Amino acid sequence: MRTRVVAGNWKMNKDLSGSRELAQAVARAADASPSVEVVISPVNIYLGAVADTIRGSKLKLSAQNMHWAENGAYTGEVGPTMLKEIGCSHVILGHSERREYFGEDDALISQKVRTALAHDLTPIFCFGETLAEREAGRTQSTVEKQIRGGLEGVSSDDLTRIIFAYEPVWAIGTGRTATPEQAQEVHQFIRSLLSNMFGTDVSSKIRILYGGSVKADNAAELISQPDIDGALVGGASLKPADFEAIIQAAR
């Protein structure tokens, strides 16, 4: 039985008091659904304040990005030990917005995945095809390339510590969700790819989240698919009642 995960990516939204308020509401929802691993990912500079707010609850804290080095001359960056020290247990890596706007490629993402694992941070490793790639029939080859690239150098012993997140780019923030069948088809492909790469025992334990316009009213059907183990949620994670409904859908 794989523990389901519902993770909220707040992106560059919410001020300090809004972050605290939202975190408080989500902490209550997480404590009411102990069978679900609930994670929030506020803006970096508010991570410490949010960690204080949710202390004592089951809610887990994630960064939205991380540098691959421990420390050094990397102006503006934050390293893994700093995130751990401030209370993070998870880190989102390879999000399509990082790939698109900040030029992150598979090689860089794999460095970050290895760094996160080495520092006992759980990577939420994102990948997914663009609309053009889907329409050209390249969904599976794109996803396979991103997974193989992002896992470069990762030991098979560490695989189950990674949370995978399939996020078709055309569904992120667009209101256009993959149908449960479309999502399941890709999730099944991902699991069989991981099975070929690392064996069935490992692949059967890996959590694969779906992300892309998950809302209160479509979460249950998506998460009930056999190879979908939860959701990575952007827009709807900023609305406490909607996010709570998605958590409940994962119970």
Residue list, annotated binding site for substrate? 9-11, 173, 213, 234-235
Residue nearest to ligand PEP (CB): 234
Query: Which of 97, 104, 167, 244 is flagged as catalytic?
Result: 167
| Binding of residue 250 to ligand PEP (CB under 6 A) | no
Q: Which residue has the tokens 């508010």?
A: 46
Burial 181-208 (b: 16+ CB within 10 A, else e): eebbbbbebbbebbeeebeeeebeebbb
* Alpha helix positions (H), 93-235: 96-102, 106-118, 131-135, 139-150, 180-198, 200-203, 219-223
Write down the catalytic residue from 67, 90, 95, 187: 95
187 annotated active-site: no
How many residues would you count in the chain?
Answer: 251
Check if the beta carbon of residue 62 is closer than 8 Å to that of residue 7.
yes
Least gap, CB of 41 to ligand PEP (angstroms): 9
Residues 213-242 close enough to bind ligand PEP by CB under 6 A? 213-214, 232-236
End-to-end Cα distance, the chain:
13
Distance between CA atoms of residues 32 and 136, nearest Å: 44
Beta carbon of residue 214, minimum distance to ligand PEP (angstroms, whole number) = 5
Residue 41 interacts with ligand PEP (CB under 6 A): yes or no: no
Whichever of 211 and 230 has its CB closer to ligand PEP, that residue is 211
Contact flag: residue 123 with ligand PEP (CB under 6 A): no
Residues involved in catalysis = 95, 167
Give me the residues that bind ligand PEP (CB under 6 A), please.
9, 167, 172-173, 211-214, 232-236
